[in-house]
Chains A and B, each alone.
Chain A
């Protein structure tokens, strides 16, 4: 087990002008939840140009399908990505999930609409809002997400309070 290098992945993709929105555990962490995450989840724009850039940037990181047998041939290239939608990958920088569609939100444009720009590692990045995270968690309807939903709702409420009234 190893920690995914969040900073290295996000900076690399951002500097290469990949269109993506940070979602999932990293987005929740950036907003202030107190839980750790083992992978980076991103929603990516599925235009040919963006997928091409994405493949070019990720190729040196040797993306492989996570959990799949090494015997299964897999090539992370434009035809593969455009033929698929969501990919759970293992890379040299750790686990990376690329989603073309997010339950409860939709495809990239809808996820982007439900996002805000946050300064991460010195770069402006699109991060799904707490409200967006809540919509995705509620749509997933998983028992394990109940605590995360309650925590996100509390975070949303705390953020609306002036700092001096949070304690």
Chain B
């Protein structure tokens, strides 16, 4: 996390809002294509996780 951003800065406002600034800093180290691919991979894993939760619920309902 940035060390003590000035209170009036956009970064400070974002931190106060609950935005994880470390993720933004990490993303800025990547190329635009790498950012998109990372986002797509993350979304796929979220969808796979949701589907697994649904399957688990269905198994639970059947039991």
Complex alpha-carbon distance, A66 and B47, angstroms: 19
* Residue on A nearest B48 in the bound complex, by CB: A3
| Interface size classification for chain A | 35 or more
Contact with B along A100-144 (1 / 0, CB 8 A): 000000000000000000111110000100000000000000000
In contact, A157 and B10 (Cβ under 8 angstroms): yes
CB contacts (< 8 Å) of B40 on chain A: these are: 3, 5-7
CB contacts (< 8 Å) of A1 on chain B: these are: 47, 50-51
Complex alpha-carbon distance, A157 and B24, angstroms: 11
| Interface size classification for chain B | 35 or more
Residue B58 CB within 8 A of the other chain: no
Contact with B along A145-167 (1 / 0, CB 8 A): 01100110111111100010011
9 nearest CB pairs, A to B: A34-B23, A154-B14, A32-B27, A153-B10, A157-B10, A30-B32, A36-B43, A29-B39, A150-B17
Taking Cβ atoms with an 8 Å cutoff, the residues of A that contact B are: 1-3, 5-7, 26, 29-38, 118-122, 127, 146-147, 150-151, 153-159, 163, 166-167
What are 22 pairs between A and B in contact, CB < 8 Å? A1-B47, A1-B50, A3-B43, A3-B47, A26-B36, A30-B32, A32-B35, A34-B27, A36-B46, A38-B43, A119-B32, A119-B33, A120-B32, A120-B33, A150-B10, A150-B17, A153-B13, A153-B14, A154-B19, A154-B21, A157-B9, A158-B2
